[in-house]
Amino acid sequence: MAPSTAAAIPIIDLAGDQADVARQLVAAAQDHGFIYIRNLGDDVTPRDIDQAFALSRKLFDAPAEEKQKCAIQNNRGWAGMHVEALDPKNQKARAFNFGEFVDGRAQQPLPSSIANEEQLLSAFADSCRRLCHKILSLLGQGLDVGDFFSSAHFVRQSGSGTILRFLRYPSAESTAHSSQDIRAGAHSDYGSITLLFRLKGQAGLEILKKDSTWAPVPVCPPGTDTDPSPPILVNIGDLLSYWTNGLFRSTVHRVVFPTAGSGSVDGESSSGTRYSIAFFCHPEDSSRLEPVPSQRVQRYVPDGDGPDQNPYSQRQVLTAREHLEMRLKESYATSLVSEEATSA
């Protein structure tokens, strides 16, 4: 059971009555910006998820030179961790970003240890795309704008910022840390929606609530413990926030080292290496980020709960590509996870 401090994110089963599911998704996007999608094996099967995590371990365990040959370029490839052992606050996840696959083939170099698994990776990305499409259609339906969101995505298999990302975080034991230290800094996601896959027992993700306090996000919220796979966590990114004029929350989140009694969830811990997989779904680059013609969006007035903590909740750019470039420029300028700073 999660302690009462855990974020009260709704758990939604996409198989229910579709109009009702659409309503629930819109409410969750508006109230929390995060949604648990119950995973009973229909959309992304537990076997696919297990295989993807096995591939991720294989990739991270591959020799450093192999990964270094795929060093990140144009937001695709290997981003190693900046070694800053004396300053635990600078601990960062290591990540490998896969851009879109075209006809089952990666459009970037892959480390040789996983090069033979291209089909599997591509199939996993395809399942994620299909699930994103379904969720985007339902969100459109819930706002009475039909397929406005879904039709802006996946028209072609390239020409978008969509990324499948494998992440590995250092264990709590591997270096000195306190519960205040950060494994991944506070941020909102750049795309439309993100799917996040996590492993049972591995603590760390927190969201910033409307009252400006952090709340842990359990991997298995109450009622899902016996499901074949933990729920898939979906979060709203900046673009859906722009498209809805802030009605949908692009909620700020981070990854930390919770310890017992300090923001931890029963049954989860920070020990051991933490793995996660994110699918960042982006629309076609040329998509314009104007508010959708939904009465609900037009009528929306922020509820006066103070300035939104996400500086990107206000639309500043015209197209999806412009937004992505702005975010990448900022994150590579401030983050140690950059081309120059990569190490294995």
Ligand X SMILES: O=C(O)CCC(=O)C(=O)O
Task: Provide, rounded to whole angstroms, the least separation between the CB of residue 15 and ligand X.
Answer: 25
Q: How many helices (H) and strands (E) does the chain have?
A: 8, 14
Q: Please report whether residue 100 would count as binding ligand X according to CB under 6 A.
A: no
Contact residues for Fe ion, defined by CB under 5 A: 189
Q: Please report whether residue 253 would count as binding ligand X according to CB under 6 A.
A: yes
Instruction: Give the helix/strand (H/E) hosting 104.
Output: none
Q: Please report whether residue 192 would count as binding ligand X according to CB under 6 A.
A: no
Number of shown-chain residues binding ligand X (CB under 6 A): 11
The item of ligand X, Fe ion, none sharing an interface with residue 205, based on CB under 5 to 8 Å by kind, is ligand X
Q: Please report whether residue 268 would count as binding ligand X according to CB under 6 A.
A: no
The item of ligand X, Fe ion, none sharing an interface with residue 252, based on CB under 5 to 8 Å by kind, is none
The item of ligand X, Fe ion, none sharing an interface with residue 184, based on CB under 5 to 8 Å by kind, is ligand X
Report the site for ligand X in 150-189 (rule: CB under 6 A).
165, 167, 184, 189
Residue type for 214, please? W
The whole-angstrom separation of Cα 102 and Cα 121 is 12
> 205 vs 265, which CB is nearer to Fe ion?
205
| Nearest alpha-carbon partner for 68 in 78, 59, 56, 54 | 78
Q: Please report whether residue 255 would count as binding ligand X according to CB under 6 A.
A: yes
The whole-angstrom separation of Cα 229 and Cα 231 is 6
Q: Please report whether residue 276 would count as binding ligand X according to CB under 6 A.
A: yes
How many Cβ atoms from other residues are within 10 Å of residue 167's Cβ? 23
In order, the DSSP letters of 116-182 are: TTHHHHHHHHHHHHHHHHHHHHHHHHHTT-TTTTGGGS-SSSSSB--EEEEEEE--STTS---TT-E
> 28 vs 62, which CB is nearer to Fe ion?
28
Both structure tokens of 129 = 């795309």
Confirm if 311 and 330 have CB atoms less than 8 A apart. no
Phi, psi of 133 (to 5 degrees): -60, -45
> 289 vs 337, which CB is nearer to ligand X?
337
> 81 vs 143, which CB is nearer to Fe ion?
81
Per-residue contact track with ligand X, 202 to 241, x per CB under 6 A?
Answer: ---x------------------------------------
The item of ligand X, Fe ion, none sharing an interface with residue 196, based on CB under 5 to 8 Å by kind, is ligand X
The whole-angstrom separation of Cα 291 and Cα 298 is 8
- What is the binding site for ligand X (CB under 6 A)? 165, 167, 184, 189, 196, 198, 205, 253, 255, 276, 278
